[in-house]
Amino acid sequence: MFSAPVGARRLLFVVRLGLVRLRARAGRQVLLATGIAVGAAMLAAAVGGSVAVQDRAAQRALAALDPSDRSVQAVWSGVPTQSDVPVATIDREARDALRPVGGREPFGVLLFREARFGGAVVNLGAVDGLRPWVKIHSGRLPRPCRPSRCETIVVGGEGALPRLSYLPVVGRATIADGAPLEGYFGTRGRQHVPILVAEGVRGLTRLRIPDVDLISRTYGWIETVAPGSIHSWQIEGFADRIVRASSELAAKSDGFGVSGPLDTLAAVHSTGQVAGRRLLLIGGEAAVLLLGFAVFAATRLRRDAEDVWRRLSWFGARRSQLALLSIVEIAAVAVLATALGWAIGAGLAAFLSRHLGAPAGSVLGHSVLAGSGMVLAAGLAATAALVVLASLRARLAGLGGRTITVADAAAFGALGAVALALARGKADAQALAAGGGTGVVLLLLPGLVVLVAAVVFARVVTPLLRLLERAGRRGPVPLRLAALSIARHPGSALVVASFLMISVSLAVFAADYRATLAQNVHEQATYAVPADYVLGEDLQRLVTVQQAAPLAAYRNLGDPTLVFRGSGSVSGRGAFDYTLLGLPANAVRRIDGWRGDFSDVPRARLARALRPSRPVALRGLDLPKNATEISLPVALRGDRVNVALMVRNTRGDFTALGLGDQDPGRRVLHARLPAAARGGRVVALRLGFPALAAFAAGHKESGTNAPVNDAFHGFATFGRLRAGGRTLGGYANWTGVGGVSIAGPGSVEFLVNRAADSLFRPRQVTDETPVPVLAAPDVAAAAGPTGELGLMVGGVPISAKVVGTVRHFPSVTGDAVVADLGWLSTALDAREPGTGPANEIWLEAPAAAAGRLAAAPFDRLAVASQRSLDESLRSDPLARGSLAILGGTAVVALALALLGLLLTVASDRSDESGELFDLETQGASERDLRRHLRLRVGMLGVIGTLGGIATGVVLGALVVDVVTVTAGATNPDPPLVLTFDWPLLALGFAALVVLAATLVATASRHVSRRPV
């Protein structure tokens, strides 16, 4: 036997032999190399593209922040003389903590808030390096402060300025856009004191102001964060540094506080993670395509591989040498093709990065060219090589009399993984952000499902091919020959058809998933803003839609619809919170954002169910328009009581006219009618606890869990109201609620406490009839057998009856309860006047109205534009990137399908040359032979395409149901529903057929026969 060195020579010889064969047979490897390269390019483009779009999304989110909110700031507030630590130390500690966050020196800010200097109360501050942050309008910039003198400029506010010679004002300016100083010198809202700013924090600190050390102040250290300075791959580290700085400073002094865009960073990071993980969908597709193509290619190489194994076996090659030869040949192709494909994909990702404005080099350096990217590429090459090797060397195993292949085993594994994944539940944005196994497995769903489908397809198609052959025996000879030809070589036919099935299924899936996401982008906008504009109260301005402008003003812009929005819970079951919407019943039929799957009933019928069957307006006593004063005769017996008139204004809101606390006795109560209430309607007399008694009761209740049982009791008789020189109607058909009971015409007995509103008011329709509502299934399930249930709306209980179920309703996230506005308002106002008026206006208006809505009087409201939201969602980088990648995937998958067809024809021409020659000897003409080849390929193409379309549709439905994430990587509202872009699908299918026919016809133009 030969010694050890001989062993190395044996192996080295085989390696050289493999390389020689590879060089000589490069052409035969083109197919395999092409498939691997395309798969690698898809994956690299998806990985790199994902990072690019995530970065773009991060920049967008950061740019949307106010400069102050975007910067990182440390703040120390207090009186220095009360601190153990000198100011200089505080300053050093803050700078040392902040410096590592952004790698730059923060600039300092100082503010004496509303302090008195020179007889004037001012906001006095200083900034290190003031010039970039202000815009001078008059005068000049202040010079740096000295201990004896500190020039200032006025940047906002109003009021008297200090009359101090050492604190002169040398100019007027405003804070520049982009300055992160809003929290110190902000001029939003009305500022009642002047805001003075000097140059140099240290200088101002040393200014010889009497008792300055006793004045509380705020020191700030600001590190600006410009959009584009933090990239998506830096977010996690940046946020960690902010948190570390905050912890460090908190440990040094409890006067320190650190703020930064942590919430935004966390949201961006989370969204980016979701987008990245959802990208595995595409990556999974790419991997399946790649591996499917590798198996397809391997079958074309199998004969050659078996030949060389046989030859070398006869030459005494050992099994290890044969294995090494295969490994060398396949691995070399896999590595080179992967490298080429990875490079191409990186190029595509770089192109996309530049297009999005992201730094291409950095994007690639943190994705395809990063360590993890290289590992992924290496893994891809190794996997492709292993799959090809396994396909070449697959042994058949037996199980219960049937043969089990490697593919069968893989399919069993995939099926198990799919079942496990489905059992773990849906993958929404939170699940994907959390990571773990769920998201990853679910996102590999397409690949797993297609693998199972391909194996099942293979098992089904084999007998189908034989059936086809039998069925074709009575058919035309060309068809019969083609069917026979396929049935003779079921293995290779099966691989072709399976590969086509995989490619077409993934193309169909990518196309319909893309269409679903794209449609959902538009649906999100119409769902969130179900009219051209939605106007509501700005929580910073606190101006209602009624207060902003009369209804006529909205009518001048377009077609307004009044809407009430509130929240509540189902009475007795606090677990079911919901959003309550009140809008005119007819509006249900025409609002945007509705989709048929929201309810099992057409919305026209839902609207009819909500419509009041009779007038439901709030009843009361109408006030004359010219009335400026109102009087009410009253006779009281018993305890004191507070009396107020509740007036519904003509503009829809309410005014409470207090008539004061009243002692027993007779008198006439007077009140001035404010302008808003003139011409309104008195809807109730409210009797309540006198103010002092209410305060005392509240004081007694504090610190205990039990309410105080204090209550005031008495009798009141009311005369008819007089206003504008007229006596208003009487109290026939009036009733009492909340401790008020009728004691006679116009007379009531009252028992008032803090627990309820006590009202003497007209009977309302809603007193006997529950409000018809549409409810979410969970809410509807809480209703009684008659459909009635109690709803608690902002603390006001109303009785409702469920007349329809809606799973979703435009503008509502979560469970919805919808009622007719009039009915709902009456029910609420009857219980507690003022709780029912509309608080939103849904306005149908053209695009030109946007400008008018941005101006007075509407600029005090919060305005949401459907068009703007739609545009924003469509332009979201994550959404665009996802849709683009899906679109590209569909095209690539179809291109690979065509390539597979083309190569099938090319290889059939040579592999089937014996069969073709035999046909020729029997008198088949060149045309007959061409037709035979084309029919053969055509039949396989039809089988594969039909299987692919069916699988693609099923896969799309499954993924849409399980992966509940939008194109922009958020939770979808409304939920995704599988959508088909029929024109695009038809176009794609037509293009596939035409291109396939053209390629096959061209490739089969010259039919080669067995060479002589």
Residues that bind other proteins (CB under 8 A): 2, 6-7, 9-10, 13-14, 17, 20-21, 23-25, 307-308, 310-312, 314-319, 321, 477, 480-481, 484, 487-488, 914-915, 917-928, 1009-1010, 1012
Q: How many CB atoms lie within 10 A of CB 881?
A: 26
What the block records as the tokens of 779 is 């809410």
- Give the shortest CB-393-to-other proteins separation in angstroms: 18
**Minimum CB distance to other proteins smaller for 143 or for 489:** 489
Which residues, 6 or more positions from 247, have their beta carbon under 8 angstroms from its beta carbon?
none
Minimum CB separation of residue 304 from other proteins in Å reads 10
Beta bridge partners of residue 840, listed in sequence order: 536, 563
Q: What angle do CA 952, 958, 964 make, to 5 degrees?
A: 125
At 611 the three-state DSSP class reads coil
Q: Which C-beta is closer to other proteins: that of 105 or that of 306?
A: 306
Nearest distance in Å: CB 423, other proteins: 44
Closer residue to other proteins (CB): 709 or 921: 921
The residue among 206 and 480 lying less far from other proteins, judged by its C-beta, is 480
State which amino acid sits at residue 851.
Answer: G
Encoded tokens for 666 = 């007779």
Cα–Cα distance, 127 to 450 (Å, whole number):
63
CB-count exposure of residue 42 (10 Å: 0-12, 13-18, 19+): buried
Cβ-based nearer residue to other proteins, 190 or 927: 927
Beta-carbon neighbour count of residue 854 at 10 Å? 11
The minimum distance between CB 481 and other proteins, in angstroms, equals 7
Q: Which is nearer to other proteins, 476 or 794 (CB)?
A: 476
* Kind plus residue range of the DSSP H or E element containing 327: helix 319-356
Q: Using CA atoms, how far apart are residues 989 and 1000, in angstroms rounded to an integer?
A: 16
C-alpha 938/C-alpha 968 separation (Å) is: 40
Minimum distance, C-beta of residue 29 to other proteins, in the bound complex (Å): 13
920 or 961: CB nearest other proteins? 920
Taking the complex as a whole, the smallest distance from the CB of residue 322 to other proteins amounts, in Å, to 10
Q: How far is the CB of 20 from other proteins (least distance, A)?
A: 6
Helix 877-911 × helix 262-314 angle, to 10°: 10
Q: Which is nearer to other proteins, 556 or 925 (CB)?
A: 925
How many angstroms separate the CA atoms of 278 and 280, rounded? Answer: 5
Question: Least CB distance from residue 328 to other proteins, whole Å?
Answer: 14
Say if CB 828 and CB 793 are below 8 A apart.
Answer: yes
Q: How far apart are CA 669 and CA 685, in angstroms?
A: 12
In the complex with other proteins, the residue whose CB is nearer, 672 or 927, is 927
Distances in Å between the alpha carbon of 5 and those of 9, 10, 316? Answer: 6, 9, 19
Instruction: For the CB of residue 385, give the shortest distance to other proteins in the complex, in Å.
Output: 21
User: Cα(639)–Cα(206) distance, rounded to whole angstroms?
Assistant: 65
Give the span between the Cα atoms of 340 and 934, in whole angstroms: 33
Nearer of residues 841 and 924 to other proteins, judged by Cβ: 924
Of the pair 227, 478, the CB lying nearest other proteins is at 478
**How far apart are alpha carbons 262 and 103 in whole angstroms?**
18
Q: Counting runs of H as helices and runs of E as strands, what totals does the chain give?
A: 29, 35
C-beta of 311: minimal distance to other proteins in Å?
6
Q: Is 936 within 8 Å of 908 (Cβ atoms)?
A: yes
d(C-alpha 221, C-alpha 98), whole Å:
8
Task: Identify which of residues 763 and 1006 has a Cβ nearer to other proteins in the complex.
Answer: 1006
| Backbone torsions φ then ψ of 102, nearest 5 degrees | -110, -5
Nearest distance from residue 938's CB to other proteins, in Å?
19
Closest by CA position to 384, among listed 43, 690, 62, 649? 43
- Of 25 and 146, nearer to other proteins (C-beta) is 25
Measured CA to CA, the distance from residue 366 to residue 401 in angstroms comes to 52
Least separation, in Å, of the C-beta of 34 and other proteins? Answer: 22
Q: How far is the CB of 411 from other proteins (least distance, A)?
A: 27
Q: Can you list the alpha helix ranges (DSSP code H) found in 394-539?
A: 406-423, 429-434, 436-443, 445-471, 477-488, 490-528
Give the three-state DSSP class for 1007.
coil
SS3 letters across 811-877 = CCCCCEEEEEHHHHHHHHHHHCCCCCCCCEEEEECCCCHHHHHCCCCHHHEEEEEHHHHHHHHHHCH
Phi, psi of 725 (to 5 degrees): 80, 5
Q: Which of 528, 76, 97, 62 is nearest to 263 (CA)?
A: 62
CA–CA dist 917, 932 (Å, integer): 12
Instruction: Give me the least distance between CB of 483 and other proteins, in Å please.
Output: 11
SS3 122: strand
- In angstroms, the CA 212 to CA 217 distance is 10
85 Cβ neighbours under 8 A, 6+ residues apart: 93, 252, 253
**Minimum separation from the CB atom of position 324 to other proteins (A):** 11
Q: How far is the CB of 516 from other proteins (least distance, A)?
A: 46
For residue 302, the minimal CB distance to other proteins (Å) is 16
Name the minimum Å distance from CB 313 to other proteins. Answer: 8
- Identify which of residues 215 and 312 has a Cβ nearer to other proteins in the complex: 312
User: Of 306 and 597, which CB lies nearer to other proteins in the complex structure?
Assistant: 306
If the CB atoms of residues 2 and 982 are measured against other proteins, the closer one turns out to be 2
What secondary structure does DSSP assign to 936-953, as a single string?
HHHHHHHHHHHHHHHHHH
Closest by Cα among 494, 419, 491, 469 to 449: 419
- Nearer residue to other proteins within complex by CB, 325 or 634: 325
Nearer to other proteins, 626 or 925 (CB): 925
